[in-house]
């Protein structure tokens, strides 16, 4: 079965790596032959990840590359597109591109639709506000990364599956390891775009750290003025991210409450939990599904971060217990080994094919209706 995968960004971006590229060896074993053609090239993706110049003049080149790929779509049994065919293109054009790509699957791991229906420009809202919903209605299947995203897609289609962003546990420690001795390390991993989420709880982290031997390890963040806060900056690298997280004592995922953050898929938590680390998270969006409070992690609202971290700081046994339970959650619900056969079955079903792996329609694991 031949599949054309059309991600938004190259494999430098986590969405492409974790929702598509890491599945390729498994899909090949199930008889899939996949071509991956990103919309934006590596230079643009690097600019996004690094917070640099996004080179908007290259958008035309990206659109031409996407059109060229779609003109060859009839050679494939299925087209899987991340979010939309071409950003900011009105639905009339997307509909035409979709006809080139039939059957097609929409995969999305962020509330991209809010970039249109909540845009400050009334013109953009009128022209594009319903674009992604119409595209979802035309898709053979919608693979959404969180409950919130599934809920949006179900407004337009019954063909919706909850497909979380998962980790390849072969890259993570097979057993619980001790964090680095010395300072109590609070790990946060993200990108320049999500750095404001870390900034939002920095005053509470500073208050917690006062009088304690504590550091905040910011992996992949955009640097900002932290004053006297004990922040250690770590440049993100695919080769070192797991090792860096494994050295920390606890992982955190603060999120403000907004329509956009409701669509987040909780991947920061999934990575930390895969490293056997306890987590503290805002009770927002997918965090509530991933973290079972007091079992696999702690939930903290604004004003509660210091108390949650104090409990972990003063109780190493609680840290260890939450870490083990969290890892079990990842093994059961958020691992590539579990999800690869499910995704293969979903894609085969969307293409009207069968594989060695079957997934019953209505299976609660996939949320297909």
pLDDT tens digit sequence for 246-301: 999 999 999 999 999 999 999 999 999 999 999 999 999 999 999 999 999 999 99
Domain spans in the chain, listed from the N-terminal domain onward: 2-166+336-350, 169-333
User: Is residue 344 a contact partner of residue 355, using CB atoms and an 8 Å limit?
Assistant: yes
| C-alpha pair distances (Å), 57 with each of 40, 49, 88 | 12, 18, 14
Do 2-166+336-350 and 169-333 fold alike per CATH? yes
Partner residues linked to 4 by β-bridges: 35, 79
CB 31 within 8 A of CB 355: yes
Cβ atoms of 323 and 178 within 8 Å: the answer is: no
In 3D space, the residue among 9, 5, 148, 150 whose CA is nearest the CA of residue 70 turns out to be 5
**pLDDT class of 360 with cuts at 50, 70, 90:** very low
Report the alpha-carbon angle 67-13-54, nearest 5.
Answer: 70
Which CATH superfamily hosts domain 2-166+336-350?
Glycogen Phosphorylase B; (3.40.50.2000)
Predicted confidence (pLDDT) per residue in 275-288, tens digit: 999 999 999 999 99
Looking at residue 228, its pLDDT comes to 83
Element (H, E) at 203: helix 195-209
Rounded distance, CA 204 to CA 235, Å?
Answer: 24
Using a 10 angstrom Cβ sphere, with 0-12 exposed, 13-18 middle and 19 or more buried, the burial of residue 296 is: buried
- Report, as an integer, the average pLDDT of 208-232: 93
Tell me: pLDDT of 205 over 70.
yes
Instruction: State which H helix or E strand residue 6 sits in.
Output: strand 2-6
Q: Is the CB of residue 264 less than 8 Å from the CB of residue 284?
A: yes
Q: What average pLDDT is seen over the chain?
A: 92
Is it the case that residue 99 has pLDDT exceeding 50? Answer: yes
Predicted confidence (pLDDT) per residue in 23-78, tens digit: 999 999 999 999 999 998 877 777 766 655 555 667 888 999 999 999 999 999 99
Among residues 331, 290, 300, 52, the alpha carbon closest in space to that of 174 is found at: 331
Q: What is the CATH number of domain 169-333?
A: 3.40.50.2000
Name the residue with tokens 């050679």: 75
């Amino acid at each position: 079965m031949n599949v054309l995968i059309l991600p938004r960004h190259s494999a430098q971006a986590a969405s492409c790596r974790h929702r598509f590229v890491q599945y390729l060896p498994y899909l090949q074993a199930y008889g899939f032959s996949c071509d991956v053609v990103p919309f934006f090239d590596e230079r643009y993706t690097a600019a996004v990840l690094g917070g640099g110049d996004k080179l908007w003049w290259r958008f035309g080149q990206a659109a031409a590359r996407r059109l060229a790929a779609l003109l060859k779509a009839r050679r494939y049994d299925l087209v899987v597109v991340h979010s939309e065919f071409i950003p900011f293109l009105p639905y009339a054009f997307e509909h035409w591109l979709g006809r080139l790509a039939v059957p097609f699957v929409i995969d999305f791991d962020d509330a991209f639709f809010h970039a249109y229906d909540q845009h400050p420009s009334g013109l953009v809202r009128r022209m594009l506000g319903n674009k992604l919903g119409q595209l979802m209605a035309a898709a053979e299947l919608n693979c959404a990364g969180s409950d919130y995203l599934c809920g949006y897609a179900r407004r337009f289609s019954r063909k919706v599956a909850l497909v979380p962003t998962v980790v390849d546990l072969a890259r993570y420690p097979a057993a619980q390891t001790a964090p680095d001795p010395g300072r109590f390390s609070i790990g946060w991993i993200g990108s320049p775009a999500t750095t404001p989420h870390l900034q939002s709880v920095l005053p509470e982290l500073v208050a917690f750290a006062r009088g304690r031997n504590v550091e905040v390890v910011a992996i992949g963040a955009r640097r900002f003025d932290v004053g006297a806060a004990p922040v250690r900056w770590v440049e993100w690298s695919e080769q070192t991210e797991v090792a860096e997280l494994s050295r920390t004592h606890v992982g955190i995922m603060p999120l403000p409450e907004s329509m956009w953050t409701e669509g987040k898929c909780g991947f920061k938590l999934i990575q930390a939990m895969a490293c056997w680390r306890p987590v503290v998270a805002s009770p927002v969006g997918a965090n509530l599904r991933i973290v079972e409070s007091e079992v696999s992690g702690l939930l903290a609202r604004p004003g509660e971060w210091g108390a949650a971290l104090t409990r972990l700081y003063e109780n190493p046994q609680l840290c260890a217990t939450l870490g083990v339970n969290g890892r079990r959650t990842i093994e059961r619900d958020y691992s590539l080994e579990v999800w690869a056969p499910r995704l293969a079955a979903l894609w085969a079903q969307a293409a009207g094919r069968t594989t060695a792996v079957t997934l019953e329609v209505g299976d609660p694991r996939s949320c297909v209706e």
